[in-house]
Structure 1
Amino acid sequence: MEFIDTLRDAIYAIMNPISNFVWTYILLYLLLGAGILFTVLTRGMQFRLFAHMAKVTFTSRGSGSGVSGFQAFATSLAARVGTGNLAGVAIALWVGGPGAIFWMWMTALVGFATSFVESTLAQVYKQRNADGVYRGGPAYYIERALGQRWMSVLFAIFLLIAYGLAFNGAQSNTIAQGMAQAFSIPNWVTGLVLVAFTALVIYGGLKSVARTAEKIVPIMAIGYFLVALWVLLSNLSEVPAMLALIVKSAFGYGPAVGGAVGYTIKIAMENGIKRGLFSNEAGMGSAPNAAAQADVKHPAAQGLVQSFGVFIDTLVICSCTAVVILLSGVYEQLMTTSPGKDIVGIQLTQDAMVDHLGSFGEIFIAIAILLFAFTSIIANFSYSQINIEYLFKRHAKSAVSVLRIAVLAMVMIGSIAKLQFVWDFADLAMGLMATTNLIAILLLCPIALRVLRDYETQRRQGVREPTFDPKGVLKRPEQVEADVWPRRDD
């Protein structure tokens, strides 16, 4: 036992400094900088095309033979919207003050463009699979467009560690804790039920994941939004003061609050930006794996759909959590009585909901956790399957079979055990994954820009549903699968 503790401490001594350096000094600025650059280069596509973005999202139903644009959107949103939307926002508020919410919003606004670029590239370089579902994502466009397979392999490995294993354990752990607290259900019982339902979905393949996400995600998102809207309307007279507090705190004005005693603009910015980036995953390289699955006529169409996912995740769902907390008596009480105290984020959200809804608030949050985290588990599997198939092309079926068993095992282990070490390791893997993807999309950005120009040109010419001809848009159309995007003169 002493040897294991010593080994763990030794690994932490190496891993933590690397992880902190990647997230604090590289990734934070790289993600934000890329978002601003892409916003400028796309001429503010998130503002110019927002209405069209929403329309394409909710009308993108596909041909029926594969995964529709909306199903791909639901799958990516399932992964984006998890327990972090409930717990992460609470922690950002507590550590960074209300101003963190303002910077979370600003991060989301530039994240639209980043999500568009990476998801459009995933569509351009996707490939057809025998099961009728396309495969694609950073691993594919890095190899095809950059010719750097070693980078693709690294990305796929990092994603499998983070999304295939660690994050699934963390999600199931949160579900089990929520069920135990709200309904006194033993963790092992929750674990067994989760394993059973997860198996039902993931053994059905990527189409099964997409169909399940399409049914559950809209219900959970709309339900959470309606409850938060009721809270907002019930406290309407306090809303102007809340908004003023958020804006003033973002720029260092107003009293120090909560855990952020004496907080500065820097603390508010860091926590808000991190929360926004972690939540909407723009630039992380995860959502493109879902985007590539969509059966659409033009890559830019799915790029716009995935951009709208940033809006739903951060500007809607994360904002709902912020509203519930800031308008509750719980938050004000903690600001007064417990400054500097360490808190558990999900507990703050749960207590705030109880303050608004009574005992039903605890039950509602437990159900929200269940839906948010379960859909994240199945979407994470979807991403992992795509990347393990990429790594083991000739033995893809066997590799996916092993992956299914590993995912189910992590769901069970996560339900009954504490996984702090695995979670910390996943943070490092996710950081390295995101860095790899960001370098790639910065290099490949001109391709996404040409695709966007082609899409907008066709729309200006009156084409209702633009189609994609790689020969007329790309400098190297031979890098694209001919049976996916046929040339018009072929």
Structure 2
Amino acid sequence: MLYDIVDWLNGLLWGNILIPLLILSGIWFTFRLAGIQFRHFTHMFSVMKHSRSTDGHGISSFQALCTTLAARVGTGNLMGVAVAISLGGPGAIFWMWVIALVGMATAFAESALAQLYKQENADGEYRGGPAFYMLKGLKSPVLAVIFSVCLFIGYGIIFSAPQANSIAEAFSYSFDLDPMYTGVFLTIFTGVIILGGLKQIARFAEITVPFMGLAYFLVALWVIITNLSAIPAVFVDIVSSALGLREAGAGMVGAAIMQGIKRGLYSNEAGMGSAPNAAAAATPYPPHPASQGYVQMLGVFFDTIVLCTCTAMIILLSGVDLNQEVGIELTQQALAGEVGTWGSDFISLAIFFFGFTSMVANFAYAENSLSFIKMDNKVGRIIFVSVFLGMIFYGSIATLGQVIALADLAVALMTVVNVVAIVLLTKHLVTIAKDYNRHIDQNEIPRFIATPEQEKQMNLTPGIWSEENTKLP
């Protein structure tokens, strides 16, 4: 009965509400921010020049990017893309691109607002995120609690189980390793990393994410180069399937749109409200809340436009039967067919790094919700860590069909609440975006110093954007 209700709610949210909401919100922010993801495309990269600088209050912008990429670049980039292509055809990739491009503006909005409404915790470290801008910006503790509950259920309980399941499945496929052993290792290794707190998680992500991303990109690039003559036909296939231009694919358009947008959201997380939890913890450079918006736009670009496309190219160029396998085995077979048997083992290692870093970042996100659900105490944290690690082990050995349905529901509810909040805060978002652009137009390093009137009008934490806290190095 419970799962019938969950399935009904998922059908309602994903089929009728979430997809139009995401597209419309992406278009809304693209319009209100004057096409910022296209107009300032190169500026996204220039912001990263000094991104490793920080102070004792926060992690660096680069660490924030790597932490959010650790969550974004997970099994969805390998398994999720394969599932999208299997169920929605090649056209699903086109809709992944669409949701990523419009979603970049949404990612800017939520991360810039998270920076704007951040505050210091008892240890003098920055914390923030959607629950904070709902509580302070919208003055709505109800929305803050609803979001935090969904964040805790999704990232603290459910989301790491499918990641662990994909790793165990890949290792079983390639190395014939018992999933129970994989589960024990993942649980212990994750525990070692997460108990060091956000800064240790950020340092781990800073080392691991660039390495794994570059390695996967280079392997995919080799596959593309060795099949260069087939690239135009693959792109024609993607576009024609997406738009129903082929007779055989006309009936697949709905499936392509659904799978592309659903898996695109899962992968790049734009609008979901997850990445802002890490973005708010950064000491940005330039010292302006909008700078984290640019950093997180870049995260969406890397995740979906670059890495998801890499997986799509590996699968579509290989000629593997798309109906033969669903999930990670499809990606493994495709790469093995292109580079030899080591390709399957490489995907297993990639899925380990991608999935493991996602699990670690999931913990950091969920931890941010504890104060809103009255679990930010010793007992609450012990329960949280125990449940989180227990679900990793469970995910390694269990069938997750029903659990994934709950994850879909948590994602949908989180996203709806978050998108509504950032749309309602558009006025403040436009204010800081215009302030940033004014500095750029005057060839100045952007620096946001909130006046007492702005602090009162926006309900900002007093002094968080003071002249003292935004000094240039």
Question: What is the TM-score with the length of structure 1 in the denominator?
Answer: 0.91
Counterpart for residue 409 of structure 2 = 428
Is 90-99 or 293-302 further displaced after alignment? 90-99
Matches of 1:269 and 1:44 in 2, distance apart? 23
The alpha-carbon deviation at position 396 of structure 1 amounts to: 3.2
Matches of 2:418 and 2:344 in 1, distance apart? 39
The alpha-carbon deviation at position 476 of structure 1 amounts to: 3.3
Matches of 2:84 and 2:397 in 1, distance apart? 27
Q: What SS does structure 1 have at the residue aligned with 2:177?
A: coil
The alpha-carbon deviation at position 102 of structure 1 amounts to: 1.6
Q: Deviations over 1:213-263 (max 9, x none)?
A: 11111111111111110000000111111112222222222353xxxx653
The alpha-carbon deviation at position 64 of structure 1 amounts to: 4.1
Matches of 1:428 and 1:478 in 2, distance apart? 32
Q: Deviations over 1:403-440 (max 9, x none)?
A: 11211111111112223222211211111111111110
Counterpart for residue 4 of structure 1 = none
Structure 1 residues 278-317: aligned runs within 5 Å: 278-296=266-284, 297-317=287-307
Q: Residues 291 and 349 from structure 1, CA distance in 2 versus in 1: closer, same or farther, beyond 3 angstroms?
A: same
Matches of 1:34 and 1:472 in 2, distance apart? 31
Matches of 1:132 and 1:354 in 2, distance apart? 49
Q: Deviations over 1:180-228 (max 9, x none)?
A: 1111221111111111211111110010111111111111111111111
Q: Residues 81 and 462 from structure 1, CA distance in 2 versus in 1: closer, same or farther, beyond 3 angstroms?
A: same
Is the Cα contact below 8 Å between 1:57 and 1:308 reproduced in 2?
no
Q: What SS does structure 2 have at the residue aligned with 1:34?
A: helix
Structure 1 residues 227-238: aligned runs within 5 Å: 227-238=219-230
One-letter amino acid matched to 1:375? T
One-letter amino acid matched to 2:299? G
Structure 1 residues 19-38: aligned runs within 5 Å: 19-38=10-29
Matches of 2:306 and 2:44 in 1, distance apart? 16
Q: What SS does structure 2 have at the residue aligned with 1:484?
A: coil
Matches of 1:82 and 1:447 in 2, distance apart? 32
Matches of 2:63 and 2:124 in 1, distance apart? 14
Counterpart for residue 6 of structure 1 = none
Matches of 2:122 and 2:156 in 1, distance apart? 23
The alpha-carbon deviation at position 272 of structure 1 amounts to: 2.0
| 1:125 equivalent in alignment to 2:105 | no
Q: Residues 265 and 185 from structure 1, CA distance in 2 versus in 1: closer, same or farther, beyond 3 angstroms?
A: closer
Matches of 1:489 and 1:93 in 2, distance apart? 48
Is the Cα contact below 8 Å between 1:350 and 1:362 reproduced in 2?
yes
Is the Cα contact below 8 Å between 1:450 and 1:473 reproduced in 2?
no
Is the Cα contact below 8 Å between 1:121 and 1:299 reproduced in 2?
yes
Structure 1 residues 128-277: aligned runs within 5 Å: 128-254=120-246, 256=248, 263-277=251-265
Unaligned 5+ segments in structure 1 are 1-9, 336-340
Matches of 1:202 and 1:489 in 2, distance apart? 29
Structure 1 residues 88-99: aligned runs within 5 Å: 88-99=80-91
Matches of 1:250 and 1:360 in 2, distance apart? 32
Counterpart for residue 462 of structure 2 = 482
Counterpart for residue 443 of structure 1 = 424
| 1:79 equivalent in alignment to 2:60 | no
The alpha-carbon deviation at position 489 of structure 1 amounts to: 13
Is the Cα contact below 8 Å between 2:129 and 2:276 reproduced in 1?
yes
Q: Residues 352 and 46 from structure 1, CA distance in 2 versus in 1: closer, same or farther, beyond 3 angstroms?
A: same
Matches of 2:47 and 2:314 in 1, distance apart? 30
Counterpart for residue 313 of structure 2 = 323
Counterpart for residue 407 of structure 1 = 388
Unaligned 5+ segments in structure 2 are none
Is the Cα contact below 8 Å between 1:353 and 1:362 reproduced in 2?
yes
One-letter amino acid matched to 1:279? S
After TM superposition, which residue ranges in structure 1, 4 or more long, deviate above 6 angstroms?
none
Q: What SS does structure 2 have at the residue aligned with 1:146?
A: coil
Counterpart for residue 371 of structure 1 = 353
Q: What SS does structure 2 have at the residue aligned with 1:145?
A: coil
One-letter amino acid matched to 1:441? I
Q: Residues 446 and 378 from structure 1, CA distance in 2 versus in 1: closer, same or farther, beyond 3 angstroms?
A: same
Counterpart for residue 373 of structure 2 = 391
Q: Deviations over 1:152-195 (max 9, x none)?
A: 00100011111111111111111111111111221111111111
